[in-house]
Amino acid sequence: MLTVEKIRNILTDHKPQLSTPADGKHASVALILRDGKQGLEVLFIRRAEHDDDPWSGDIAFPGGRVELSDKNPREAAERETLEEINLDLAAAKYLGQIGDIHGAYLPVRISCFVYWLEETPELILNYEVVDAFWVSLPTLLDPGRNRQQLFSYRGEQRNHPIIDLNGFSERFLWGISYRLLQRFLSLVNPD
């Protein structure tokens, strides 16, 4: 069974591949875990619908752009998490970082930092977020929920691997957040 200690040990030994920003654009996110009835759970948000947001309405991890005022990408992930869902990660246990990824359609580098919450405070969503919900790792790993999906996105036909989040959200997980989750899962649960 996957435990927080096992994840911490794996991420402590892991040397994440970090990359240089694509055209200077850099974002950071927080992959947040907690204990649940079926084992570890992952926190997801659903972004609000905004015409100028390329990830409008998508399922994601809390996070956003790294600003010049941020000391480093991890601080940006923590600041954005506090802004978006009022969750102060100073009270969380930092487990480590997974390797950076680049956007498939947009020139952006994304850094991902992993945390574990012993206690789950009430989440207060700001205008950028319309929902926050927890999904267990067994649910995310369920082969019946993992598939290739043909769908229309912003007027274009796309065919991507997804995780069906029916019962948690009317949207499915795909794209950058899907790729980050897969990278995390391949590190901590290679089976």
Nearest of 8, 28, 34 to residue 94 by alpha carbon: 8
* Residue reference for tokens 């945390």: 115
The token duo for 77 is: 């992930």
Q: What integer pLDDT is reported at residue 22 of this predicted model?
A: 55
Model pTM score: 0.93
- Given a contact cutoff of 8 angstroms between Cβ atoms, the answer to whether 87 and 63 are in contact is no
Tens-digit pLDDT string for the chain (191 aa): 789 999 999 999 988 887 765 566 899 999 999 999 999 999 999 999 877 766 678 999 999 999 999 999 999 999 999 999 999 999 899 999 998 988 776 778 899 999 999 999 999 999 999 999 999 999 999 999 999 999 887 778 889 999 999 999 999 999 999 999 999 999 998 66
Domain residue spans in the chain? 4-138
Query: Which residues have C-beta within 8 Å of that of residue 181, sequence separation ≥ 6?
Result: 31, 42, 140, 163, 173
CATH topology of domain 4-138: Nucleoside Triphosphate Pyrophosphohydrolase (3.90.79)
* Secondary structure of residue 5 in the 3-state scheme: helix
Query: Which residues have C-beta within 8 Å of that of residue 47, sequence separation ≥ 6?
Result: 53, 55, 56, 57, 58, 59, 60, 128, 129, 130
